[in-house]
């Protein structure tokens, strides 16, 4: 092999090495650019950090910022770059409909306390919101909160039929397993740091027939609430549903009192 051929082969080998080096650098730069572009295509979207049932308060702990592909985002999503204070803004909002953990939070699924129709938004179809006066003494010491289940009791005077002048008082259950929608709008914390509500008005969720029962009972005496255990709402224990006591039915109007048990209605008339 002569000297010229050796020189040519050497130059060719050097060119090949240089070409390989340049190609490697170009690929690396393209990969870096691809990663940077991918990072630029994501946004932070406000999502639910846990399941939030309809009618529950969202709270800041119930939300978080989640990295989201920009192409998959929607104009309806709440994006951090546009609304950095959104988590604080919607912390006191109520869920108009249920949210699932990881689901983007949409404005149409939230309703703020100052917005009109707040109560109507959380009221299930076919139900009615009925309010009546209570006090700390008749509201389980202020420990009844929205979404708690209660029994409604009526305390009233009875006039003896035997001619006696003695005044009798009776307390009877009017409705059971009633869901509390609101207890005024005044909140405080007790000595243990637990949030309780001190209010003068309770708003409950009832069927139309049950609302009539409650209104009649309210006109007959003093109403009070008894708080039910959470265990009774687990579905494992039976419940006879909203009811009217016999004595209460006797004190009602001639058309009777509608009693609803598991979707079946019956009429209890005076004397029954």
End-to-end CA distance of the chain: 125
How far apart CA 250 and CA 194 sit, in angstroms, is 42
More confident residue, 3 or 260: 3
Domain 42-119, CATH number (from 3.30.70.100, 3.40.50.300, 3.90.1210.10, 3.40.30.10): 3.90.1210.10
- Confidence grade of residue 266 (pLDDT, cut at 50, 70, 90): very low
SS3 state of residue 56:
coil
The pLDDT tens digits for 133-159 are 876 565 555 678 778 888 998 888 877
Q: pLDDT at residue 204 above 50?
A: yes
**pTM: predicted TM-score of the whole model, two decimal places:** 0.51
What tokens were used for 108? 């149409």
Q: Is 206 exposed, middle or buried (0-12, 13-18, 19+ CB in 10 A)?
A: buried
Per-residue buried b or exposed e for 121-147, using 16+ beta carbons within 10 Å of the residue's own CB: bbbeeebeebeeebeeebbbebebbbe
Show me where the domains of the chain are located: 42-119, 123-268
- Confidence grade of residue 249 (pLDDT, cut at 50, 70, 90): very low
């Amino acid at each position: 092999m002569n000297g010229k051929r050796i020189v040519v082969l050497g130059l060719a080998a050097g060119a090949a090495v240089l070409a390989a080096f340049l190609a490697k650098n170009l690929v690396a730069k393209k990969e870096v650019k691809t990663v940077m572009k991918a990072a630029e295509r994501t946004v932070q979207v406000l999502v639910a950090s846990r399941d939030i049932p309809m009618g529950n308060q969202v709270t800041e702990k119930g939300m978080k910022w989640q990295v989201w592909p920009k192409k998959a985002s929607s104009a309806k999503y709440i994006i951090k770059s546009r609304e950095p204070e959104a988590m604080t803004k919607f912390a006191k909002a109520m869920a108009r409909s249920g949210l699932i953990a990881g689901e983007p939070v949409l404005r149409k699924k939230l309703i703020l306390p100052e917005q009109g129709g707040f109560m109507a938004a959380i009221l299930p179809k076919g139900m009615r919101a009925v309010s009546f006066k209570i006090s700390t003494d008749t509201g389980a010491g202020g420990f009844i909160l929205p979404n708690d289940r209660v029994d409604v009791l009526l305390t009233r005077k009875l006039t003896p039929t035997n001619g006696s002048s003695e005044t009798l008082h009776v307390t009877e259950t009017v409705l059971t397993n009633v869901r509390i929608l609101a207890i005024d709008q005044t909140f405080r914390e007790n000595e243990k740091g637990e949030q309780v509500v001190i209010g003068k008005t309770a708003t409950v969720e009832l069927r139309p027939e049950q609302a009539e029962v409650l209104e009649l009972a309210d006109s007959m005496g003093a109403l009070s609430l008894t708080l039910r255990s959470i265990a009774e709402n687990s579905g494992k224990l039976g419940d006879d549903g909203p009811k009217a006591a016999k004595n209460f039915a006797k004190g009602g109007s001639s058309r009777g009192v509608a009693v609803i048990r598991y979707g079946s209605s019956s009429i209890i008339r005076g004397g029954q």
